């Protein structure tokens, strides 16, 4: 079967797009993307061409843009182009040239796709690109997810040439007298991908002549293995995670019994901005005391008694909030908590302010919603009382009960906010410093 026949078959097998879908082709001017354009034209698709000028190769970059513009005119299809000062943007964002160019082009492709109502962005990645990507991911340590290589379809991006070897693409171009431009930087080893393409794979091929075919087969097997892996991970998550509003609660004892523990923990925490390097810190929480936590850019994982609680850093969205000793204010659902230390006592009659003997308090404090089973020692009483019973005595409505928050220290409730403080933390004749907590609504 020739390249066109394989192309048509691959699209059908992978269910990449329908005959009536409007396609936006990413065309650089190189042989891969120009052949992709020819194949799509022969298939009769409604298509347009998009080209990025990254201004990295001087006159060659201008040449490529003009070539692709002429190609679009020859094919009588719409043409879109843009230019980026890639080096300046990479320096500003402190990212590599490769990563910067990739991010810029995909963001721009998606913008054009949406504005002009195209179904998919179509790129010319081929089998060789897939092998290079898989190897780079392997050496980066991305885990099983990176070993499936490039996906043929990912959201609105489609790659219908992944089945094709570079030689097949070149042969098709020669047989059909297809003109294209050559990017001479592909022969240089300045970029990571070029090193794999020009140095590593040819060296391995001397020892294992069938390395490319073997790696493509491995990519397919890894893709199937990843599906099974993801199914197992999802089963563990379903059994383990308890979703409560914007938080996730995980029972420590149940988690400790899982195997392989480190892998399952990482698969849970990565969805909340945590890195693989933080897995060991989270595992440490399984043996730690209440109040310890690990933090990502967006979330905290808090050890609270027999639970790990994954809570948003944005406190207005959280139901379990840690208060460190240096904190002065804390925003939460019911208002703002003001935290102050005083050496003089000025006991307020307001139900929204309490003064506590600081020597009895351990940080961090936990600001949270009350839950069934909670108890405290109401001020003036020597016996503990369950909060559920206390609420009945206070004649709270169901709505009022649902909105009650507490502050605890080392598993002891300091204050049922707005209602009553705990007798164990009251000011005495020996008190030298107080912690004043004030609720401002």
The reported pLDDT for the residue numbered 189 is 62
Residue 229 lies in a domain: no
Instruction: Return the sign of the alpha-carbon dihedral for residues 292, 374, 353, 368.
Output: positive
Closest Cα to residue 370, out of 385, 348, 352?
385
Three-state secondary-structure class, residue 409? strand
Residue 236 lies in a domain: no
Is there a single domain that holds both residue 307 and residue 331? no
Look at residues 190, 224, 258 and tell me which one is the last residue of a structural domain. Answer: 224
Is there a single domain that holds both residue 15 and residue 139? yes
The reported pLDDT for the residue numbered 186 is 63
Distances (CA, A) of 191 to 15, 92, 195: 33, 19, 7
CATH number of the domain that 296 lies in?
3.30.465
CA–CA dist 416, 413 (Å, integer): 7
Q: Are 69 and 81 a contacting pair, CB within 8 Å?
A: yes
Q: Are 17 and 11 a contacting pair, CB within 8 Å?
A: yes
Q: Which residues pair with 82 in a beta bridge?
A: 52
Place of tokens 């409604």: 46
Look at residues 160, 195, 224 and tell me which one is the last residue of a structural domain. Answer: 224
Q: Read off the DSSP letter of residue 317.
A: G
Q: Are 28 and 183 a contacting pair, CB within 8 Å?
A: yes
Is there a single domain that holds both residue 352 and residue 288? no
Residue 233 lies in a domain: no
Is there a single domain that holds both residue 275 and residue 178? no
Is there a single domain that holds both residue 81 and residue 124? yes
CA–CA dist 225, 268 (Å, integer): 19
Look at residues 313, 330, 360 and tell me which one is the last residue of a structural domain. Answer: 313
Is there a single domain that holds both residue 181 and residue 35? yes
Residue 339 lies in a domain: yes
Give me 362's structure tokens. 């351990």
Q: Are 323 and 416 a contacting pair, CB within 8 Å?
A: no
Give 192's contacts (C-beta < 8 A, 6+ positions apart).
98, 136
Residue 136 lies in a domain: yes
End-to-end CA distance of the chain: 73
CATH number of the domain that 404 lies in?
3.50.40.10
CATH number of the domain that 85 lies in?
3.40.50.620
Each residue's pLDDT tens digit, 377-431: 999 998 999 999 999 999 998 889 989 999 999 999 999 999 999 999 999 989 9
Residue 274 lies in a domain: yes
Residue 335 lies in a domain: yes
Segments in the chain below pLDDT 70 = 185-190, 347-349
Is there a single domain that holds both residue 60 and residue 175? yes
Residue 206 lies in a domain: yes
CA–CA dist 409, 314 (Å, integer): 21
Is there a single domain that holds both residue 172 and residue 290? no
Is there a single domain that holds both residue 209 and residue 249? no
Is there a single domain that holds both residue 332 and residue 272? no
Number of CB atoms found within 10 A of residue 269's CB: 23
The reported pLDDT for the residue numbered 387 is 96
Q: Are 311 and 321 a contacting pair, CB within 8 Å?
A: yes
Q: Are 360 and 412 a contacting pair, CB within 8 Å?
A: no
Is there a single domain that holds both residue 330 and residue 298? no
Distances (CA, A) of 180 to 31, 71, 170, 177, 440: 5, 10, 10, 10, 69
CA–CA dist 409, 425 (Å, integer): 10
Provide the domain count of the chain.
Answer: 3
Number of CB atoms found within 10 A of residue 317's CB: 14
Which residue range forms the structural domain that includes residue 354?
320-440
Is there a single domain that holds both residue 353 and residue 220? no
């Amino acid at each position: 079967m020739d390249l066109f026949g394989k192309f048509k078959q691959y699209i059908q097998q992978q269910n990449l797009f329908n005959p009536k879908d409007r396609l936006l082709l990413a065309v650089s001017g190189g042989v891969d993307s120009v052949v992709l354009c020819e194949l799509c034209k022969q298939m009769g698709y409604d298509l347009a061409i998009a080209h990025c000028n990254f201004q990295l190769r001087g006159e060659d970059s201008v040449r490529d843009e003009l070539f692709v513009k002429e190609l679009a005119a020859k094919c009588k299809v719409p043409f879109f182009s843009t230019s980026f000062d890639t080096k300046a943007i990479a320096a500003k964002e402190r990212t590599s040239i490769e990563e910067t160019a990739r991010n810029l082009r995909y963001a721009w492709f998606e913008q054009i796709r949406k504005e002009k109502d195209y179904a998919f962005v179509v790129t010319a990645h081929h089998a060789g690109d897939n092998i290079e990507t898989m190897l780079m991911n392997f050496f980066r340590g991305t885990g099983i997810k990176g070993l499936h290589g490039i996906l043929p379809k990912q959201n609105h991006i489609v790659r219908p040439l992944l089945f094709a070897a570079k030689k097949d693409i070149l042969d098709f171009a020669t047989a059909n007298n297809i003109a294209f431009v050559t990017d001479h930087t592909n022969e240089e080893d300045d970029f990571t991908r070029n090193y794999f393409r020009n140095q590593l794979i040819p060296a391995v091929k001397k020892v294992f002549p069938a390395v490319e075919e073997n790696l493509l087969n491995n990519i397919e097997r890894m893709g199937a293995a990843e599906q099974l892996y993801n199914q197992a991970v999802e089963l563990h998550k379903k059994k383990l995670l308890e979703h409560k509003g914007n938080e996730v609660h995980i029972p420590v004892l149940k988690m400790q019994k899982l195997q392989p523990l480190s892998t399952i923990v990482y698969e849970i925490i990565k969805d909340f901005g945590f890195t693989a390097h933080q897995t060991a810190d989270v595992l440490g929480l399984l043996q730690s005391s209440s109040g310890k936590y690990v933090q990502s850019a967006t979330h905290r994982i808090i050890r609270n008694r027999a639970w790990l609680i994954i809570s948003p850093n944005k406190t207005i969205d959280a139901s379990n909030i840690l208060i460190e000793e240096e904190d002065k204010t804390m925003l939460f659902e019911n208002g703002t908590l003001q935290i102050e230390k005083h050496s003089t006592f000025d006991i307020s009659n307001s139900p929204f302010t309490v003064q506590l003997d600081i020597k009895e308090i351990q940080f961090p404090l936990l600001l949270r919603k009350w839950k069934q089973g909670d108890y405290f020692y109401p001020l003036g009483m020597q016996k503990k009382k369950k909060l559920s019973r206390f609420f009945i005595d206070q004649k709270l409505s169901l709505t009022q009960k649902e909105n009650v928050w507490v502050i605890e220290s080392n598993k002891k409730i300091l204050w049922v906010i707005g209602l009553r403080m705990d007798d164990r933390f009251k000011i005495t004749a020996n008190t030298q410093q107080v912690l004043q907590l004030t609720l401002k609504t």
